[in-house]
């Protein structure tokens, strides 16, 4: 089961930081010309929502692969088990 709070791995987060204009230094600190800075380990540790708030961007809508269960199919299985 996927963790809904952490959908993006480090490489995804690095790409998003670079896309937003952040530059990484030799100490793995990402800094922006507007003064915002974040350490790479912090960028990895915070939840996706906190990460997007830091970047000041809207989080993309992720669709989780959750199986849909049809209530009728459950009823059919239950009835067939009872009659056998």
pLDDT digits (tens, 9 = 90+) for 3-62: 888 989 999 999 999 999 999 999 999 999 999 999 999 999 999 999 999 999 998 876
The average pLDDT across 58-77 equals 69
More confident of the two residues 41 and 72: 41
Report d(CA 81, CA 78) in Å as an integer: 5
More confident of the two residues 5 and 64: 5
Q: What is the pLDDT of residue 64?
A: 63
Kindly state the helix (H) or strand (E) to which residue 37 belongs, with its residue range.
Answer: strand 37-39
* CB-count burial class (<10 Å; 0-12, 13-18, 19+) for 42: middle
Q: Is 90 exceeded by the pLDDT of residue 84?
A: no
């Amino acid at each position: 089961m996927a963790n809904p709070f952490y959908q993006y791995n480090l490489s995804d987060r690095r790409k998003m930081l670079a896309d937003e204009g952040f530059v990484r230094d030799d100490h793995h600190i990402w800094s922006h010309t507007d003064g915002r800075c974040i350490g790479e380990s912090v960028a990895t540790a915070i939840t996706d929502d906190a990460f997007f708030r830091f970047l000041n961007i809207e989080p993309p809508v992720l669709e989780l692969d959750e199986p849909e269960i049809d209530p009728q199919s459950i009823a059919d299985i239950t009835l067939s088990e009872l009659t056998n």
